[in-house]
Chain A
Amino acid sequence: MLSNSAKPTLLRKILSTPTGAIGMALLTTVILLALFASVLFPEGPFEMVGAPFRPPFGEYLFGTDMLGRDIAAGIAYGARISLLVGAVATLVIVLLGTVVGGLAGYYGGWIDTAAMRVTEFFQTIPTFIGAIVIVAVLGPTLPNIIGAIAVVSWAPLARLVRAEVRSVKGREFVEACLSLGMGDMRILVVQILPNVLSTIVVAGSLMVATAILFEAGLSFLGLGDPNIMTWGFMIGAGRSAIRTAWWMVTIPGIAVLLTVLAINLIGDALNEALNPRAKR
């Protein structure tokens, strides 16, 4: 389904829809910004480059903050963290969700019951408050933040994978594999999971967006790694100057908005390309 030969067509399918094309263009911009942050702003995001409280679109493209740091540099370095958190958290979520959901859906029985009880627990706890508690207790480091986001978000994906695996498992070709004497793990990984992949890809792409919003929210509340410049931190820090310097909170927020929007648009386009019948 997502084999190498099919990839160009999938990309073309995404680019052929207006939403997918806009999403791809936006996301590419953010990725380039993240990649070239240290080339564009070699002095780093914490360096005081000029006078504080400079408005945007003058000497500095996005102005400076209350300490004279270049906001454009913060946006570029913040892009790295947002994308990193979104990607790594989603990877962990997909891994956890696929393993738990796959095993529960394939084996059924007590494994399924136990797995569903656990996912129900994780779906019941208020996710964002859960993430706050984990980061507050374990300490605000980047791995803890990513871990916290993954821990509170994997359960819905596990349920989705479980449901899909169950429905695929009922199909005839699985019985054929069984009668051929194929092992459970081989059937699950080689035969069933490829059929579930498009669902995982679509759900996963939307998870990236959610993870980025979570990270922004956590660092806005002051739970970010203090040694790392993030968009959420910039908005939180700009709050104290909101009466005089609107741009300090507005510009990093637009960066979050555009990045999340880009990923959502790509997710929608992926959904249409991979699950044409489930078009919404």
Chain B
Amino acid sequence: MWFANAKYVLGRVLHGIPIILAIVVVNFFLIRLAPGDAAQVLAGESGAATAEYMRQIREQFGLDQPLWLQFVNYMKNLLVFDLGFSFRHNREISELIMDRLGATALLMGTSMVLSIGFGILLGAIAAVRDRTLLSHVIMILAIVTYATPLFWVGLMLIIVFALNLGWFPTSGIATIGAPVDGFEYAIDVAHHLVLPAIALSFFYMALYTRLMRASMLETLGQDFIKTARAKGLSSSNIVFRHALRNAIIPVLTMAGVQVSAMLGGSVIIESVFGWPGLGLLAYEALFSRDLNLLLGIFFLSSILVVLTNAIVDVIYTLVDPRIRLNGGRHA
């Protein structure tokens, strides 16, 4: 059993490798698609790059060599996670990215928990109380939220809760000059996290609410639920012990798929709230036209998605014995 599982896990991880290679190829050729000299493009259009930096870029990308050799060198560098050097930040790109990863993970993790938790809760309520005022209100809110641009939600939260009510800070991850570790720091970060996490989770919460309601309605109509009712089990017992557990599966599947979209959302939310993660780094890279850095972020975020997909698949085989080995996921 565990051996079969380990083989599956390994297979899943190997499966991601061609995709990562393809991303490298795309990154490599994208720069060469850009109008003008690749070194100029990578250095940015502002013309602020020094001769020294231009030389470094030509060297890193081997721009004076034949194309195939350039590609081989590029691959070699990426294999050891050498993403190059950012002139604007005056640091290695891999270091820059690693520094920002934690903040993004905190924001995305919190938003995922919020959106999945409330999505399941609201969707289940809407299904159990189907055709009542409560379920209509929930579904209308979900439909409207589903149409709302993330960045706009963020700005509205800032106007209401930060500027007018003054309950939360408008931006950043911590108060400048406040203690940098210990309990107080954690509280301070949590205080800064509230608005961006809510803003990022809104859209996904709406998505999961709609999905959960549909899935729950379907589950409640199935035979095993009828059997449970016939056995005389209480209503709440049926909902919580039987229906909910089955109805959750499509929502979790969707949440796994949405990690990639949420990374995009965090670029927007981080730039709205000045949250110093990967997304804000990408936004800064856009502004300074630091394309080398932008491509590094794209590369790393793609790897993150490949890893998450593999992890989600593995969790499935552990949680749901019906999905195993040769079969993909169901739902």
Contact = CB atoms under 8 A, between A and B. Distances in A.
B149 A253 contact: yes
A124 B260 contact: yes
B287 A222 contact: yes
B96 interface: no
Interface in A100-151: 117, 120-121, 123-134, 136-139
Interface in B16-48: 18-19, 22-23, 26, 30-31, 33-35, 41
B149 A128 contact: no
A216 interface: yes
A264 B31 contact: no
Given A127-B260, A137-B31, A209-B147, A242 B159 contact: yes
A120 B283 CA distance: 27
B265 interface: yes
Contacts of B150: 217
How many interface residues does chain B have, given as a range? Answer: 35 or more
Contact of B159 (A131, A139, A250): A250
Contact of B294 (A123, A133, A250): A133
B264 interface: yes
B214 A280 contact: yes
Nearest to B285: A136
A235 interface: yes
Given A137-B30, A261-B143, A121 B19 contact: yes
Contact of A253 (B152, B158, B298): B152
Contacts of B268: 128, 217, 220-221
Interface string B131-168: 00000000000011011111110011011000100000
Given A117-B18, A129-B301, A250-B159, A136 B152 contact: no
Interface in A150-171: none
Interface string B227-259: 000000000000000000000000000000000
B298 A129 contact: yes
Q: Which of B155, B282, B286, B287 has the most CB of A within 10 A?
A: B155
B207 to A, nearest CB: 11
A52 B33 CA distance: 42
Q: Which of B34, B35, B147, B291 has the most CB of A within 10 A?
A: B147
A260 interface: yes
A258 B22 CA distance: 38
Contacts of B41: 137
Contact of A261 (B35, B144, B282, B287): B144
Given A217-B150, A217-B151, A222-B286, A129 B143 contact: no
Given A128-B267, A242-B163, A253 B214 contact: no
A117 B22 CA distance: 10
A138 B34 CA distance: 5
B149 A216 contact: yes
Q: Which of B143, B152, B305 has the most CB of A within 10 A?
A: B152
A136 B291 contact: yes
A264 B148 CA distance: 11
A242 B155 contact: yes
Given A127-B264, A239-B155, A264 B18 contact: no
B197 interface: no
B309 A124 contact: yes
B264 A256 contact: no
A18 B70 CA distance: 59
B219 interface: no
B263 interface: yes
B272 to A, nearest CB: 8
A129 B267 contact: yes
A184 to B, nearest CB: 28
A88 B41 CA distance: 28
Contact of A223 (B155, B163, B263, B286): B286
Contacts of A51: none
20 contacts: A124-B19, A124-B306, A125-B23, A125-B26, A126-B264, A126-B305, A129-B297, A129-B298, A132-B264, A133-B30, A137-B33, A137-B34, A213-B149, A217-B150, A222-B286, A223-B286, A242-B158, A250-B156, A253-B156, A261-B143
Interface of B: 18-19, 22-23, 26, 30-31, 33-35, 41, 143-144, 146-152, 155-156, 158-159, 163, 210, 214, 260-261, 263-265, 267-268, 271-272, 282-283, 286-287, 289, 291, 294-295, 297-298, 301-302, 305-306, 309
